[in-house]
Amino acid sequence: MKLLVTGGAGFIGSNFILYWLNKYPSDKIINLDLLTYAGNLESLKEIENNSNYSFVKGNICDRKLVDELVKKVDIIVHFAAESHVDRSILDAAPFIKTNIQGTYTLLESAVKNNISRFHHISTDEVFGSLQLNSVKKFNEKTAYDPHSPYSASKAASDHLVKAYADTYNLPVTISNCSNNFGPYQFPEKFVSLAITNILEGKKIPVYGDGLHVRDWLYVKDHCAAIDLILQKGKIGKTYLIGGLTQDISNVDVIKKIVKIMGMDIDCIEYVKDRPGHDRRYAIDWSKIKRELGWSPKQNFDKALEITVKWYKDNKDWWEKIKSGEYLKYYKKQYNK
């Protein structure tokens, strides 16, 4: 099998490529990534000389390049996206271009080249916000109600994928996942920022009252879910992927990390809440469990311990990011 993985130098994409080539070593992967601020080829150093893996630096909005690559593969696994809500509030333009126009470009090429599967990775944020202390959860029939430029752009891309399935009979699947955490996550995100700040002796910023609720999904469990969708998922269907069965507030997540790392809660610093901050996300992932037999292998507490250990053991990786040194790796590796 030949796969085009977009955004494969990013957090989830790089974990997926490592997962896939470990499980399916005879398959071939082309990684298309523009290497914006969150793309890091050092996350893929262990397979950079694998003959079944190739990296192409490029933009998913580049129709000519996309066509050249799509001709060579059977499946597109589309991770590439601008994904940080705070950045979308400061400047929405890159989100509109990458998440909407980029997805459109890939879909056009997929139709043109009769791709056998287009799998689109999306987010639970497209569904908006739930009330604190309610029992409601997002499911595959939940109406879209995005509240940030980021989630609106992802909602638009979801609708495009569904439209191309209906209009052009493109064989698609979609997965909407909850907040991921784990190895190789860019240290501006909630969990990775908390861990690395503690290791640097810095405060951990928590928005507002800290009572916002998210569903948390260990990235390697996410990769396994995508695998199952590609192998057994029904064409044209959407699957929600979550990691929890009970709500947990942001500040309680931080307290768990603080405890694992043997620190005191004095390192928590409450900061001004961001605009349009969704109060609660919760995912009903019973469909993927029922139909495909997926469930998380790691419980949340154990996955947090594994993640903390990874950041402790891989300071060189994230310290380069926080200092900007990681940007030099591409130039050194590819002489560009």
Identify the bridge partners of residue 199 per DSSP, sorted by sequence position.
Answer: none
Angle between helices 315-323 and 190-199 (to 10 degrees): 100
CB count in 10 Å sphere of residue 228: 17
DSSP class of residue 97 equals I
Of all helices (H) and strands (E), which one includes residue 114? none
Asked if 124 is an active-site residue, the reply is yes
| Token pair 């402790």 in the structure block, residue | 312
Nearest to 101 by CA among 86, 87, 81, 121: 81
Q: Which of 316, 208, 201, 181 is nearest to 263 (CA)?
A: 201
- Cβ–Cβ under 8 Å, residues 122 and 172: no
Contact by Cβ (8 Å): 165, 231: no
Does the annotation count 252 as an active-site position?
A: no
DSSP characters for 165-207? HHHH---EEEEEE-EEESTT--TTSHHHHHHHHHHTT--EEEE
Q: Is 168 a catalytic residue?
A: no
The pair of structure tokens assigned to 329 is: 């790796």
For Cα atoms 128, 133, 139, give the angle at the middle one, nearest 5 degrees: 40
CA distance 48 to 67: 23
Find the catalytic residue in 53, 104, 150, 184. Answer: 150
Sign of CA dihedral 62, 149, 141, 282: positive
Q: Which of 124, 215, 247, 278 is catalytic?
A: 124
Catalogue the active-site residues: 124-125, 150
